[in-house]
Every structure is written in structure tokens, then in C-alpha cells.
Amino acid sequence: MKPAPLDHVRATGLDHAIETLVAAGEDAKILAGGQSLVPLLAMRLAQPTTLVDLGGLRELDYIRDDGDTLEIGAMTRSRTVETSPVVAGAVPLLPAALRYVGHVTIRNRGTIGGSAAHADPAAEVPSVLRALDAELIASGPRGPRTIAARDFFDSFLLTTLEPDEILTAIRIPRQPSGSVVAVEEFARRHGDFALVAVLGAAHIDSSGRIAEVRISIAGAAPTPVRADAAERLLVGRTPTPELVRAAAAAASDATDPGSDIHAPADYRRTLATVLTRRCLTRLVADTERTEAA
Amino acid sequence: MTSQQLPPGLIGARTRRKEDPRLLTGRAQFVDDVVLPGMLEAAVLRSPHPHARISSIDISAALTVPGVFAVLTGHEVRDACATPQPVVWRMIPDQRMTDQYALAVDKVRYVGQPVAVVAATDRYVAEDALGHIEVEYEVLDPVVTLDDALAADAPLLYEDWPDNVSCRQTIPKGDAATAFAEADVVVTETLTYGRQMGAPLETRGAVMSWDPFTDHLECWMSTQSPNLTRDLLGEVLGLPVDHIRVRTPHVGGGFGNKFDFYAEEVLAALLSKRTGRPVKIIEDRLESFVANAHSREQRIEVSVAAKADGTITGMRGTVWAVLGGQLATVGIGPCWLSMALMAGPYDIPNVEATVVGVVTNRSPYGSYRGWGQPKANFAHERIIEKLAHELGLPANDVRRRNLIPADKFPYPSQVFYYDSGNYADCLDMAENAVAERGWRKRCDAASNEGRALGVGYSFHIEISALGPSKIMNQAGLQHSSFDEEVVRIDSAGGVTVRTGLSAMGQGIETALAQVAAHTLGVPLDSVTVLHGDTQTNPFTGYGTGASRGAALGGGALLRASTRLRDKVLRIAGHVLEASPDDLEIADGVISVKGAPGGPSITMRDIGDAAYRRLDGKLPDGEDPTLEERDVLDPDNVAFSYGTTAVLVEVDRETGRVDVLDYLLVHDCGTVINPMIVDGQLHGGATQGIGGALYEEIVYSPEGQPLTTTFMDYLIPTATEIPRFETLHMTTTADHIPGGFKGMGEAGTIGAASAITAAIEDALPDLTLHLARLPVSPPRLLDAIDVATASKENS
């Protein structure tokens, strides 16, 4: 478990990083926390000729509240995001989901941008970005561009980033005040990748109707799944157990899970149903509790 | 049962472990910390195919990689070795042996089998060079599963065998046929125990230095069995054992894996001989999943014949051992033990059990904590549960009716004599403890909230203190199993114990120090325990395994220390002008019994009298120095036992199982250190929980291992394990000085049985009969669905 020989370039600035990436061609990899890449290197499953290390780019390490949106630099550590009061106030679903990412030591090293760009469909960050309609900002030799989350995740571990582009920031619309969030994750052990996780956010108005609801599902398709049909069933309605069950079934229908040694596809579909129901039930209960308080 | 009772003192004290400050602050030395001048590092090229013929190997390109010193292939290794890789357990005389070498010669039989090995300036270069070795394979059809191997037209792993069966043996007791013919009820079950392995935090490793002028081999190895290793290296390499010195630094977890003798130590030795430099080889985590001994996987068919009142009159069973592509060091050993102990703690007059060893294209099957016993336990406890269900009786009533009564010891089982025990008391104690803790009330309360909690029990026995060497030889062991210990008091009264046992985190330094300090009457801090060097330390037969270290090492040391104490008292009596019989030793001071403030002499003075200023102090006829050695080759093994009770919660919608509470009532004879025993039980139980719910080595239908990282091979972590509670009983082993029994493996044995019973108890409306481990959430959900459908159809 020793990496093959490679050139390690510690970027001194974003422009330097992009130049290095362009010069190295398709055989370069970006190091942005290393929690997934370093094991792949050690097992020689990835053998890049050049490693572009973004670890020194303080310019990509920030959390900025722009009012309607929250912008987070790609090199911001997951633990920093998780514990930020600014993030908790603007997009509470993100810290709620980050608590399920590996263990604290992993979140201390891993970055929000690294997780997004790695595009593991079982990971929490991509699902949060899908649920909240985030935008991802990338920079390359042709300048910066903005990509909607729904267009960013292409397939298993694949994004629509070009090989010479670097993800620099994510921008997430502020959740409406009074939003409740819930994450229902089923992993074999604490800290493991989810077999399936359902991430939900809702705003239920004072009359008890669902004004807004967002549901995304991790681990149940080659990309994070946004449960649009389930959301449409719920919006404008007053939640009842029957409605929640119907929405859960609709959410499960939106999944396209694969089979692996930990769970067959059918099992993941069952989990999607059960976890969506539990997630929605929690959202409703939390709203009621908040109102009672 | 009291002849080995010891007076209270350091034996039995819950003292902190002497080794922990070193281990916990990162100051302990492990094999990878050994760095020698000029040392090279090796890496192994492993077969990517489960079953293939090696057509050719071209190492020329690898040899030109800068920094590469040597590359070895199978033919060179075979020519350099005096014998194939050894198999030390040969219980079945007509077993077909596999006789393989450290590198594959002509044919590979599992993914990960070593094919070539490189020594280079460092591990990076060595791994680079592996990519330059060209191997041409003729790929053969793989034999991946037990059924594949037993199929009529199965490809043969060994073409000179008629089939893929390495061995078969049936051991009868009484007349099972009549028992089954006359039974009121017969229940049968087929069980599948998943393939698992121990996964020590420190992977295996060795540093070998072959002196080209003297042919002496210096070895540093992470091994549980340094003396056995030395003997086996001598056999394989054709070296006299006095040319071989095995040093064992701290072992970062052994779990049986490091009892076995592997290819890598032979390869590093040969590479050192070839290059004239020391060679280090460290198994990395990725390799460990194919190179470390696999274990546990069996199919077990088990039946019992019983009377309507639950009395079991007969048992039949067949253990199908899913061996790998070649025999590991312990051969059929663990699977044979599953067969030999299938009747467990029960007084069953008629038993007929069979073991069949079947080779497959999987990694070799070797030692893992518990050896065959977790599987034997799963067989007898699952069938007890099923019988109880069939008869409509509580399972513990069926257990109680069949447990061997205390007055029947020593009890002749199929193979062994169980030495002593109060089994029924142990089960009672567990049931009472569970009642006191209100588990059943918690189940009822949860049920009212729509949650499913359940309580499950198992009863286990554990063979320990292995064992009487000649009997083990008769059983097929190609080695001894006694233990030798040496204890010395130095010129200043300090005590040094020398042991051949390995320190692998189990606390052997502390346990032996307690025995010596207790017996000699000195403070614990004045005892130093030295281990880990075959050149300077005593010979321990077998190794640090089979739950024998504390029992046999402790017993031998107790006898040696007792004789040394007698000498101390003789010298003290001479100096104090008192009869030795009137003296006592406490806290390193020898004084006249019942005369506080009277004349006394310290252990330091005794040391001085025996080594330095002898005149006027050392009695005439007494030799200078203070040293004793003892060898314990016991008359019998010793059987520990215990009851496991667990409280689980089952999520009926997902099949998830959480272990909420865990209680062990245990008897290992005289306890040397209850804190160490508790820790051993908890650690073993954690591995048992892993085997019951999480851990499984999975192969693809094509024979590729799919669990090669800890992301896929799921070891329970701190968040998955419950709080453990242990309660102790003491039934001494009266044939072992001190009355000690071993308990290193106990925790692993009964876990899966208790957990599966608890899951079934949590779902009382369903008939589950869980028969396959591990009980993963998808498997349990499937079982729930099947049982629900069957209930609705009935």
C-alpha cells in the first residue's frame, strides 16, 4: 500500500493550481483533504502522475453569508462547516448531514469541495446540495462558471467538471426561517457510508400545511436522488400518515439502486421507503414541537 | 474442589497492567520499529486468479528497476527449502496433505497466493518492481464454494486427488443410531457460519537477518509462538535451531492469526540469505485480507434425538470445513475441534460427529480466537433452541435438563475429559442476574411502544490450558504443549521472570508478575517479566494461544516461585536464627510470624546473602544465587465455561439489530486479575458480536475476494458494542497449580448463539430459526418476510 511515483505540487494560488492542472493533462489529480484519494493512491487504484495539492489555498477556505445565499469555499474543512453558527443559521440541513460523514478525525481533514467533487452517491454532501438546489462554482483556464447541483452530479464518482477545472466554492440558498430538517441514515456502523440516507427539509406553515419540502436520497442511485414526485405530493397539503406513506412510496420509486455485498437493490429500495417515512414523520413532529414551545 | 484455593493476595487483585503505560503512550516497540543497518524491504506479488496454472514468470524487467536487490520465484524457493510449509496439527492420519511452499510452484489456488517476492531499498521501490514481473497464467475454472467443491464434476485443486476432500473423520460415543430410532422427537438444522478472520491492529511482519558467514538467522517477528516458529524455520530452512534466534517485540494483537507460520517469514529469510542484508517484510492491510489466516466458515448439519421432557439422548452432526487452497499451519485443527466439542456442555450419552475437510479456491483456513469452538457452540445452542421451540419449553429449561451435573466430573466427552464445573449454578446465576436487571420488563415496556426487544442466552465451554504434551502428540500435534518458566531474585532483591510466552496485549506481563509477587511475598513493582527472545528465555511448547498462557505459565511460575520462596526462608531462618517454618514474607520483608516489631530481614538482604556477602549469611550446603525453573506439562486440559445473556433491539422494518446489554457469568477457576479477565471476555465478546452481526469475508462467484478493506469487512467499533458486565464463579482446576483455567477465547464462543436467540425472542410472533451468520440487516429482513408470509399462509 505505497503509492506509485508521482509529482506532488503544492499550489501557491488558484491560478497556479489551474496552470499545474492544465500542464499535467488528464493524469493529474486534485488533493483536497485526501480522505478518499489517499487510500486510492495507496492501493494504486489511482496512479496520477501529478498531484495538485490545494491544501495551502487559504483563499478557498471561507464561509460567507450573502443574505439570500451562503457561500462556502471548496477547501473549507467539513468539521468547520459542521460547527459554524453561520451555516447552522442559514442552511441547517448541512450540519445535520455532516454529522454522519465518517468520524470527527475524517471531518477535520476532509473538505466540503472535495466531497462534492468526489461525487460519491452515498455521501451526504452531494445529497444536501441536491436537496437545497445549490450552485457549484468552478474555475479553469476559461474562467469561472456556475453549475447547478442537478447538472453537476453526472454518474457514480463522475461530475460535469472538466479535467482542467477546479471546484472553488458552493453556494446554497438560505432555507426559509422556521424550516425543520431531518436526516435518516442507515449505515452498517457509525461513520460508514450510508446504505441509504434520506435528507429532508420542510417548512410547515401556521395552518399546518406544508409550504415547502425538499427530500433527497443518498446511496440509492448512481447520483444523489431528488424525490421531486414525493415533494409535489406533499406541498400544499396537511401531512397525515397516509400522505406520508404515499410520499415515501413515491420517493422510493425515484431511486435506482445497485446491489453490492452489503445490500441488494431491493433492500435499498425498502430502506428508501422506510427512511423517507421516518424522515417526514420527524419533520412533522419537530414542527409541532417547535410550535408548542 | 478446594485443594488449589490460594490465600488472598496479589493473585486475584484487580491491579493495573504493568504494560499499559508503554502501550498507551506509544512507547512500546513492535516489529516495524526494528530498523537495521543496510536493511531491505520486501513486497510480495500475489496471484490475481483463484485457480490457474503458472505458464511462465519473467522477472528480468523487475531486476533492472533501480533499488531492486533480489527477486525470488516458486522454483527457487522450493529448491532452497528442506520441506514444504509445515502443518503441525495432523489429527486425521490419512488426511491428504497439500505440501505447498512459500511461493506457488506451477499452480495458484487462491487469490492472494504469493507468486514472487522482491527485496528492494524500500517498500515503495519493491512495490514498483512488482509491476514489472510478467506472469503468464493459464486460468482454470475456480472452485469457489463448498457446493462447487463437492459437485460431481468439480475441477480438482489437486489433480492427484480423486476429489476436493482432504480428510474425513467420524468420532462416535455410545450408540447414536439406537438413540435416534427410539427418540420421542428429532430436530435437525443446517447452519452456515460465515468466513471471518482476526484482524489485529498490527498486521503480521518479520525482519530476518541471515549471517552469510555463520549461517545464523536472526529473526524479529510478530508471533504468538516464538519457539514453535524457531523449530519450524529450522525444519523448512534446514538450519539447526541453535542457529536461529527469534525475537518477539510487543505483538499488536494476535488473535490466533499470529500463532500460525506463514510464507512471508520464510521468504524474508531466503531474501536475506540471497542479498546478505537484513530484510523486512510487513503485511499491509490490503494484503492482510487474503494473506492472513481465514477462519470460521463451515456448514454444520446437526440433529438431536430427545425425549418428550427435553432430555437429549443422542446427537449427530457433520462439520463441513470450507478450507482454502492449501492447508494452513493448523491443518484441519479448528474444524476438527468443532466436531470434537459439538455436544458442548451437555450430558449426551450417544454422539456421532463427523468432520469433512474440503479444499476451495479461497485463502487458507487457520487459527482465530475460539478455534472451532464458536461453531460447535452455534451448533449445540441453535439445536437446543430449536428443540425447545419444538417441545414448547423454555430453552433454559432444556439446557438445565441436559447440562452435565457437577457430580459427573471429570466427564468423558466424545474426545476429552472435562475436568470440573458447576454448570447449572452458572446458568441460574445468569438468569437471576438478568431478572435483577429487569431486562424482561424493558422488553415489555418497549413492546408497548411498538419496539422489539429480546433476551437470548447461550452456554459455552472452552478448552483451555492446552495441554498434556504426550496426549496432544497422540492427537496429532507435531509439537509439545508444556510451559517452562524461570524466576530469579537478583543481588538486590529484585525479581525477574523469564517466559517464552508472547506479550500481545493480553496482559501476560502483569499476570505473571502477580503470580510471582504473590508467591514470593514481594511488591508487584519489584517484579520484571522478560519475554520475546528464544535465545535467552525458556521454551514454551505450542505458543501463546489455546487459552494456555496464564494457566500453564502461571502454574509453572507458581511452582518455581514456591521453591524459590522456600530457599529465601531457609536463608532468612539462618540469619534470623529461626526456623523457616516460623517465618513469613510480606511486602518484601521476612519476619517471625506473629511477632510484629521483632527481628526481620529484607529481600534485598537475602539477595546480598546469596550473591555478594555470603559469609555468615548463606547456610552451609546452600548454593549461591536465587533461581528456580519449572516445567508444567499438565495431566489434562482444563475446561472453563460460562453463560452469555444479551438484550437486543430489532428494527423489524430494516432488519437492524442493536445489542443493548451484555452479561457474562464466567468460571475460569482461580482468577489472577479480574480486570484482565473482564477485558479478555469483553474483547472476545466484541469479536463474537462482529461474527454474529457484521463480519464476513465475501468472494464473488468468480472467486475474487470482495472484502479487502475495513470499509467492507465490518469490524464492530466502540459505537456498535454495548456495555459489558461480567460476574465470576470459581471452580478451580485441581490438576493445575494455583487452580487456574484459561479464558482468552471465551468471549468469542457464545456470542453468536446468544444474539441469534435474542433476535428470535424479540420477534415472538414469528418462527425464524436463524441459521446463517452473520445476521446482516438484509438477511434478517428476508427472514422476517419469509416468516411473516408463512404465518399468514398457515
Cell of B788: 411473516
pLDDT at B2: 43
| 3-state SS record for B311-344 | CEEEEEEEEEEEECCCCCCCCCHHHHHHHHCCCC
Chain A interface, mutation test: which of B651, B781, B782, B788, most A Cβ atoms within 10 Å? Answer: B781
Fold of the CATH domain A58-173: 3.30.465
Q: How far apart are the first and last CA of chain B?
A: 54
Which chain B residues contact residue A263 at CB under 8 A?
Answer: 777-778
Which chain A residues contact residue B286 at CB under 8 A?
Answer: 1, 43
Whether B720 and A189 lie within 8 Å, measured CB to CB: yes
Interface of B with A (CB under 8 A): 123-124, 127-128, 131, 284-286, 653-654, 656, 694, 698, 706-707, 709, 711-712, 714, 716-717, 719-720, 776-778, 781
Whether B776 and A43 lie within 8 Å, measured CB to CB: no
Task: State the Cα–Cα distance between residues B705 and B702, nearest whole angstrom.
Answer: 9
Q: Return the closest-CA partner of residue A271 out of A188, A186, A170.
A: A186
| Closest chain B residue to A102, measured at CA | B711
Q: Return the closest-CA partner of residue B218 out of B238, B253, B242, B251.
A: B242
Q: Which CATH number fits domain A7-53: 3.30.499.10, 3.30.43.10, 3.40.50.150, 3.30.465.10?
A: 3.30.43.10
Domains in chain B, CATH or no CATH each: 20-27+482-632 (3.30.365.10), 403-465+636-794 (3.30.365.10)
Cα dist from B596 to A196, B583, B600, B601, B632, whole Å: 73, 12, 9, 13, 37
Whether B694 and A43 lie within 8 Å, measured CB to CB: no
Whether B719 and A39 lie within 8 Å, measured CB to CB: no
Q: What is the pLDDT of residues A89-107, one digit of tens each?
A: 999 999 999 999 999 999 9
Helix B554-576 vs helix B603-611: crossing angle, to nearest 10: 80
pLDDT at B517: 98
Percentage with pLDDT > 90 across chain A:
97
Task: State the Cα–Cα distance between residues B16 and B613, nearest whole angstrom.
Answer: 36
pLDDT at B481: 97
Task: State the Cα–Cα distance between residues B547 and B463, nearest whole angstrom.
Answer: 8
Whether A261 and B128 lie within 8 Å, measured CB to CB: no
Burial class (CB in 10 A: 0-12, 13-18, 19+), B775: buried
Task: State the Cα–Cα distance between residues B60 and B65, nearest whole angstrom.
Answer: 9
b (16+ CB within 10 A) / e for B500-529: bbbbbbbbbbbbbbbbbbbbbbbebebbbb
Pairing assessment for the beta strands A7-10 and A50-53 based on DSSP bridges: parallel
Which chain A residues contact residue B711 at CB under 8 A?
Answer: 192-193
Task: State the Cα–Cα distance between residues B126 and B176, nearest whole angstrom.
Answer: 58
Along chain B (794 residues), what's the average pLDDT of each consecutive run of 10 residues? 69 96 95 98 98 98 98 98 98 97 98 98 98 98 98 97 98 98 98 97 98 97 97 98 97 96 98 98 97 98 98 98 98 98 98 98 98 98 98 98 98 96 98 98 98 98 96 96 98 98 96 98 97 96 94 98 98 97 96 92 98 97 98 97 98 98 98 97 98 98 97 96 96 96 97 98 97 98 97 86
Asked whether A193 and A219 are in contact (CB, 8 A), the reply is: yes
Which chain B residues contact residue A3 at CB under 8 A?
Answer: 124
pLDDT at B794: 78
Q: What is the pLDDT of residues B481-527, one digit of tens each?
A: 999 999 999 999 999 999 999 999 999 999 999 999 999 999 999 99
CB pairs < 8 Å spanning A and B: 56
Cell of B350: 450417544
Residues 6 or more apart whose CB falls under 8 angstroms from that of A177 comprise: none
How many angstroms separate the CA of residue B644 from the nearest CA in chain A? 23
Which residue in the block uniquely carries the three cell numbers 494484503? B287
Q: What is the pLDDT of residues B665-679, one digit of tens each?
A: 999 999 999 999 999
Q: What is the pLDDT of residues A144-184, one digit of tens each?
A: 999 999 999 999 999 999 999 999 999 999 999 999 999 99
pLDDT at B1: 39
| Closest chain B residue to A259, measured at CA | B778
Which residue in the block uniquely carries the three cell numbers 512488482? B130
Planar angle of CA B279, B281, B283, nearest 5 degrees = 180
In what helix (H) or strand (E) does residue A272 lie, and over which residues does it extend? helix A265-292
Cα dist from B339 to A258, B355, B496, whole Å: 40, 6, 42
How many angstroms separate the CA of residue B694 from the nearest CA in chain A? 8
How many angstroms separate the CA of residue A35 from the nearest CA in chain B? 13
| Closest chain A residue to B122, measured at CA | A2
b (16+ CB within 10 A) / e for A47-83: ebebbbbbeebeebbebeeeeebbbbbbbbbbbbbbe
Q: Where are the domains of chain A?
A: 7-53, 58-173, 180-292
Cell of B372: 472451532
Cα dist from B352 to A283, B301, B413, B752, whole Å: 59, 12, 11, 24
Task: State the Cα–Cα distance between residues A212 and A59, nearest whole angstrom.
Answer: 35
Q: What is the mean pLDDT of residues A83-87?
A: 98
Whether B128 and A4 lie within 8 Å, measured CB to CB: yes
Q: CATH classification of A180-292 is 3.30.70.580, yes or no?
A: no
Burial class (CB in 10 A: 0-12, 13-18, 19+), B27: exposed
In DSSP terms, which residues pair with B357 in a beta bridge? Answer: B167, B321
Kindly provide the ipTM of the predicted complex, given to two decimals. 0.96
What's the distance, CA B682 to chain centroid? 15
Whether B128 and A5 lie within 8 Å, measured CB to CB: yes
Which of B127, B698, B777 has its CB closest to that of A2?
A: B127
Residue B199 zone, left/alpha/beta (φ > 0; ψ -120 to 50; rest): beta
pLDDT at A292: 77
Asked whether A63 and A150 are in contact (CB, 8 A), the reply is: no
